[in-house]
Amino acid sequence: MAEKTLMKGNEALAEGAVRAGCRFFAGYPITPQNEVPEYMSWRLPQEGGFFIQAESEVAAINMIFGAASTGIRVMTSSSSPGISLKQEGISYCAGADLPIFYANVVRGGPGLGNIAPAQSDYFQSTRGGGHGDYRVFVMAPNSATEMANFPKRCYDVAFKYRVPSMILADGLLGQMMEPVEFDFEPIDPGSIPAPDWALGVATGRNKRVVKSYDLRPGRLEDWNIERQKKFEMIEAEECDWDGEGLEDCELLVSSYGSCSRISKSAVKLARDSGLAVGLLRPITLYPFPKKIFRDMARKVKNILVVEMSLGQYVEDVQLSVEGAVPIHFHGRPGGGIPTAEEIFEIVKKIMRK
Amino acid sequence: MYQGIIVAGFGGQGVISMGIMLAYAGMVDNKHVTFFPAYGAEMRGGTANCSVIVSTDEVDSPVVGQPDSLLVMNEPSFAKFEPTIRPGGRLFINTSLVSSKSKRKDIQVIDVPANKVAEEIGTLKIANMVMAGALIKHTGAIARDAIIKSLGIVYSRAKPEMLKMNETAIKRGGEF
């Protein structure tokens, strides 16, 4: 296996995207994701790619729309308020069936909030985010290595189904340094054939159109129904999750992203003191791995959901288990980060009942 | 072996730089490591701190709530972090700048006149490495050779005489 390098999560994310074939990045600075555009600004030219610091987030996402329509691998990144600004353009990309990739390194909200790590953009990410009937393929890494390796998976899904894809991270994952190991060889985008919908020089072929606009009666309804079939396929094919101690646990703890690391420490504390506790962590947030939650709900006595927001992720767990088992909740909003000891105390209280 | 370390001081004292160095050296020493800098508002007031974890097992939570080792480079950091040290943990004080004394009986205190030693070697800039030397001596978390090997990689733009002084600082720190 390749040698490990010590990298910041944000740098790992940027390098991962470049290795996955990204050759166009447009963005606008915001903490805590600034290392992504900074890294891209010198790294992309090395590979013959393009970096643009746009005049605003809105400009950046529309540059992404334009570049993506030529069929190349593109990326933008931002943090919460900046991603909100980009939602109009993301919806346009979804409406035009463009395979874009972006990352949200979440900070405390709502509004301008603060720059501390948070998970409060869960609803926005997993429900589409902009206007209209669409979803975005959402991956939630929990380490610098996953920050490095997930961009490739996002591109794979985005191009397979022609949908937007994203990584939902946070300030903790972005700023943290860890040894990074890539699980794939760098991809030469020149070796990937251009998609049959991509815009370019049209000599010798029929006209191609990339747009999200159609006023003909009934046409948009048909488009949406066709697009919905893709999301049904994504839900059937692309779910991913990770678990620990699932065979014998009575209490199931569930968190995603950076918070799942903290919960994992808490689960270890609990198991070391003889408590039957397991951890279930979704890796894809959309599609949500409903089936494993449904299966676990039949086995365990309680579920504890821990997230760095006030009750967003927990709703998907509730929707999955459909009331089959009591769900307890612990949320820390506005940049608050739980500790393993704090979660362990809650675990003990639930187990004593 | 598991060491949760917090390094705290003024911006410019090499707090973040030392944290990265410890994480890198830990990786070179085949340990599992994480490094997390305080990048928020607290950093903009002129103080800096970071958390480093060095462990023989995989590191789950990268958050250090109760440090096993606290390295205090200035007075405000003492007040902020001294109460958080895990019982049985270690407090490394840069006594050149910190006059506060710990009243806790459940921790080990290691006095290191880091600025004074650094100036004796030749530059104040390496006070952080004097502290790092004391840390690895007392905890055994990272082999000294691994740090010395890492110096030239992490500080790739440093001149050879500067690297030599860093090495001396790590060795002198181990005498406290």
- Per domain, the residue ranges of chain A are 5-200+225-237, 241-352
Is any Cβ of chain A less than 8 angstroms from the Cβ of B12? Answer: no
C-alpha separations of A326 from A58, A116, A291, A323, A343 in Å = 43, 31, 17, 7, 17
The residue with tokens 């346009």 is A92
CB A2 within 8 A of CB A60: no
Predicted local distance difference test score (pLDDT) of residue A16: 98
Q: Identity (one letter) of the amino acid at A45?
A: P
Task: Lowest mean pLDDT of A276-290, A324-338, B28-42, name the range.
Answer: B28-42
pLDDT-derived band at A256 (thresholds 50, 70, 90) equals very high
User: Which residues, 6+ apart, have CB-to-CB distance to A228 below 8 Å?
Assistant: A133
Fold (CATH) for A5-200+225-237: Rossmann fold (3.40.50)
Cα A82 to the center of its chain, rounded Å:
16
Predicted local distance difference test score (pLDDT) of residue A342: 95
Residue A1, pLDDT above cutoff 50: no
- Among 3.40.50.920, 3.30.70.420, 1.10.150.170, 3.50.50.60, name the CATH number for the domain at A241-352: 3.40.50.920
**Reported ipTM:** 0.94
CB A128 within 8 A of CB A137: no
DSSP 3-state of B28? helix
pLDDT tens-digit map of B100-143: 999 999 999 999 999 999 999 999 999 999 999 999 999 999 99
- Token readout for B7 is 């390094």
Kind plus residue range of the DSSP H or E element containing B144: helix B144-154
**CA pair distance A329, A221, nearest whole angstrom:** 39
Residues of B in contact with A177 (CB under 8 A): 20, 23, 34-36
The residue with tokens 């365990």 is A300
**CA pair distance B39, A173, nearest whole angstrom:** 12
Residue A274, pLDDT above cutoff 80: yes
**CA pair distance A127, A118, nearest whole angstrom:** 18
Average pLDDT (A11-18) is 98
A74 phi/psi in degrees, rounded to 5: -120, 165
Predicted local distance difference test score (pLDDT) of residue A85: 98
Predicted local distance difference test score (pLDDT) of residue B44: 61
The alpha helices in B45-101, defined as continuous H runs, are: 75-81
The string of DSSP codes covering A73-105 is -EEEEE-HHHHHHHHHHHHHHHHTT---EEEEE
B33 phi/psi in degrees, rounded to 5: -140, 150
- Long-range interactions of A213-222: CB distance < 8 A, separation 24+: A213/A95
pLDDT tens-digit map of B26-81: 999 999 999 999 876 666 667 899 999 999 999 999 999 899 999 999 999 999 99
**CA pair distance B33, B46, nearest whole angstrom:** 26
User: How close A175 gets to chain B, by Cα (Å)?
Assistant: 6
CB A34 within 8 A of CB A201: no
Say what percent of chain A tops pLDDT 70. 99
Is any Cβ of chain B less than 8 angstroms from the Cβ of A264? Answer: yes
DSSP 3-state of A160? helix
CB A121 within 8 A of CB A83: yes
Residues of B in contact with A116 (CB under 8 A): 40
CB B63 within 8 A of CB B17: no
Residues of B in contact with A258 (CB under 8 A): 62
Is any Cβ of chain A less than 8 angstroms from the Cβ of B87? Answer: no
The dihedral built from the CA positions of residue B59, B63, B68 and B73, taken in this order, carries a sign that is: positive
CB B130 within 8 A of CB B92: no
Q: Cα torsion at A192, A137, A177, A308 (round to 10°)? A: 180
Residue A245, pLDDT above cutoff 80: yes
Predicted local distance difference test score (pLDDT) of residue B155: 92
CB B51 within 8 A of CB B62: yes
Residues of B in contact with A253 (CB under 8 A): none
Q: Do B34 and A177 touch (CB under 8 A)?
A: yes
* Residue in chain A nearest B34 by alpha carbon: A178
**Domains in chain B, CATH or no CATH each:** 2-173 (3.40.920.10)
* Residue in chain A nearest B154 by alpha carbon: A6
The residue with tokens 């290392």 is A35
Predicted local distance difference test score (pLDDT) of residue B47: 80
Average pLDDT (A61-88) is 98
Predicted local distance difference test score (pLDDT) of residue B133: 98
Is any Cβ of chain A less than 8 angstroms from the Cβ of B153? Answer: no
Q: Are strands A74-78 and A251-254 parallel, antiparallel or unpaired?
A: unpaired
Q: Do B60 and A340 touch (CB under 8 A)?
A: yes
**CA pair distance B44, A353, nearest whole angstrom:** 45
* Residue in chain A nearest B33 by alpha carbon: A178
Predicted local distance difference test score (pLDDT) of residue A2: 53
Q: Do A262 and B63 touch (CB under 8 A)?
A: yes
Q: Is A106 exposed, middle or buried (0-12, 13-18, 19+ CB in 10 A)?
A: buried
pLDDT-derived band at A209 (thresholds 50, 70, 90) equals very high
**CA pair distance A288, A282, nearest whole angstrom:** 7
The alpha helices in chain A, defined as continuous H runs, are: 9-19, 35-46, 57-68, 80-95, 122-126, 144-161, 171-175, 219-237, 257-272, 290-299, 313-321, 340-352
* pLDDT mean across residues, chain A: 97
User: Which residues, 6+ apart, have CB-to-CB distance to B112 below 8 Å?
Assistant: B92, B93, B94, B95, B130, B131, B134, B173, B176
Predicted local distance difference test score (pLDDT) of residue B41: 64
Is any Cβ of chain B less than 8 angstroms from the Cβ of A116? Answer: yes
Average pLDDT (A332-350) is 96
CB A257 within 8 A of CB A119: yes
The dihedral built from the CA positions of residue A140, A144, A150 and A151, taken in this order, carries a sign that is: positive
Is any Cβ of chain B less than 8 angstroms from the Cβ of A340? Answer: yes
Q: Do B36 and A177 touch (CB under 8 A)?
A: yes
Domains A5-200+225-237 and A241-352 share a fold: yes
User: How close A90 gets to chain B, by Cα (Å)?
Assistant: 29
Predicted local distance difference test score (pLDDT) of residue A4: 85
Is any Cβ of chain B less than 8 angstroms from the Cβ of A114? Answer: yes
Predicted local distance difference test score (pLDDT) of residue B39: 79
Is any Cβ of chain B less than 8 angstroms from the Cβ of A181? Answer: no
C-alpha separations of A195 from A69, A98, A160, A166, A345 in Å = 10, 11, 10, 20, 53
- Token readout for B85 is 């040290």
